[in-house]
Amino acid sequence: MIPVRSPALQTFLTRAKAVIGQGSVVDGPVRVAADRMFTALNEPSPEGEPVEAARLPVCDHLPVALARARGAPGSIGALANAFAAMAPRLCWKTRPGAEAHGEAFSHGHANAIITGPDEGLEIRPDVRIGVSMMAPQKRYPDHHHPPEEIYIVLSDGEWWQADGAWHAPGIGGLVYNPPDILHAMRSADTPLLALWFLWTGPASA
C-alpha cells in the first residue's frame, strides 16, 4: 500500500522548505542539513497511527504567538497559516524532567512532535520535526544533542549558543545549531514559538 500523507502536513512541509530555502543565513551547513532532511521528507512514511491530540494551558498563548507571523507577507505567513491549520492535531507535552527547572518553567512551556522516530503525525526514523511554545518571560534550559538542528522562528524571542551573545533572529529568522553545541532560547514580554528540525537518520559519510 502506498503511504498517504495528510494534505495539512504536506502543505506545512512545503511551506517550511520554502522558508528555510529563502533564509538569509542559509550557508553551507544549513543548506546541506536542509537538503538532506527535505529530500528524505519527499517520501511519506508508512509507519504509525494517528496521534491523539492534547493541549496544555500554555497553549492559550498560541494565537498571540502566531499572530504577527500569520500576517507576514510571503513564505513565512504561508508557513504560519499552514502550522495554525495543523496545530489542533498536535499532542503538546512538557519537556522531560521539566520539574527540575521549577514550576514556572514546567507550567510555562510545551513541546509537540510533528514527525519523529517514536511519535508525531508521521512516524519516521530520519527526521524529527517539533515545535516549542513558551509563555512570556521564560528561559528554556541549556541543552545539547547529537543531531544538528535548524530552527524557524515564528515569534519574537532570543537565542543563545555556546559562549556567544543572546540574539533575536526575528520572525521568519533561522537558527542553526551544529551537533552537540550547547544552546538555549528565551521569551521576553510576548510568547515564543519556534519550529525545529533535526536529522535522526544515519550519519552522513
The whole-model pTM stands at 0.92
Dist CA 29 CA 13 (whole Å): 20
Give the pLDDT confidence score for residue 1 in this predicted structure: 56
The CATH number corresponding to 7-199 among 2.60.120.10, 1.10.1370.30, 1.10.1040.10, 3.40.1190.20 equals: 2.60.120.10
* Residues 140-165 pLDDT 10s: 888 888 999 999 999 999 999 988 89
Dist CA 83 CA 61 (whole Å): 15
CB atoms inside a 10 Å sphere around CB 126: 19
Dist CA 196 CA 193 (whole Å): 10
Domain regions of the chain by residue span: 7-199
Q: Name the residue with higher pLDDT: 54 or 204.
A: 54
Q: What is the mean pLDDT of residues 57-64?
A: 95
* Residues 89-131 pLDDT 10s: 999 998 777 666 667 777 888 999 999 998 999 999 999 999 9
Q: Retrieve residue 74's grid coordinates.
A: 510571503
Per the document, the length of the chain is: 205
Q: For residue 134, what is the enclosing H or E element?
A: strand 127-134
